[in-house]
Amino acid sequence: MKTEIKKIKKQAVKNENEIEAFCEGLKENGLLPRSLDSRMKKLLREKISNFDCTICAACCKEAYVVVETEDIARLAKHFSMKRSDFRNKYVGRNEDGDVVFNRRPCPFLKKDLCSHYEARPNCCREYPHSLAIDAMDKLENLAANYEVCPAIFQALEELRASLFPPA
């Protein structure tokens, strides 16, 4: 599985410009947003069910973990900390202004597993499926996560092949 992940990563880096153009082209393709959502949901469910995320953990290592107020409250309670202390220790902003954990990889990642899984942020609970909801509005995020998540890589490759079969 680790070998497969390395191959996917290498191919994703190689295809980066193509996938960005494909995602940008989806806006002009005439594909209805609901149709894209439906296809992406189906593809991600299928791909993620064939994949053991605990072997990879690339999302925890490479992606920003966006935290909402309720996530901070849940995690602070989990650690028996004041919210302000938790914020000061673990929370910052990324270049887009999103509220995120202040370092990557995730500070709670231990040996490719979340050490506080039950208290994890909502974005972690929902990833990568959250990118299939209003996917047309998240094409930039899908393209960015193409190199991070093998399930997203496989889903986008299959979608691309179904919409633009090789000649």
What is the average pLDDT across 75-101?
97
Residue 46 has pLDDT above 80, yes or no: yes
What is the per-residue pLDDT for 29? Answer: 79
At 109 the three-state DSSP class reads strand
Q: 154 with 137, same domain?
A: yes
C-alpha to C-alpha distances, 72 to 2, 12, 86, 161, nearest whole angstrom: 32, 33, 7, 40
Within a domain: 4: no
Give me the amino acid identity at 130: S
Q: Which two tokens stand for residue 99?
A: 């509220």
Secondary structure of 91-156 as H, E, C letters: EEECCCCCEEECCCCCCCEECCEECCHHHCCHHHHHCCHHHHCCHHHHHHHHHHHCCCCHHHHHHH
Residue 43 has pLDDT above 90, yes or no: yes
Within a domain: 38: yes
How far apart CA 8 and CA 96 sit, in angstroms, is 27
Q: Which domain holds residue 44?
A: 33-62+127-162
Residue 55 has pLDDT above 90, yes or no: no
Residue 2 has pLDDT above 70, yes or no: no
Residue 84 has pLDDT above 90, yes or no: yes
Q: 81 with 100, same domain?
A: yes
What is the average pLDDT across 136-141?
92
What is the average pLDDT across 3-32?
89
At 26 the three-state DSSP class reads helix
Question: How many structural domains comprise the chain?
Answer: 2
Contacts of 99 (CB under 8 A, 6+ apart): 66, 67, 68, 91, 92, 93
Q: How confident is the model at residue 157 (pLDDT cuts 50, 70, 90)?
A: very high
What is the per-residue pLDDT for 164? Answer: 82
What is the per-residue pLDDT for 93? Answer: 96
Within a domain: 12: no
Q: How confident is the model at residue 3 (pLDDT cuts 50, 70, 90)?
A: low
Q: What is the percentage of the chain residues whose pLDDT exceeds 70?
A: 98
Within a domain: 88: yes
Residue 72 has pLDDT above 90, yes or no: yes
Q: 68 with 93, same domain?
A: yes
Q: 58 with 90, same domain?
A: no
Within a domain: 9: no
The per-residue DSSP string of 45-67 comes to: HHHHHT--HHHH-HHHHHS--B-
What is the average pLDDT across 84-93?
98
Within a domain: 44: yes
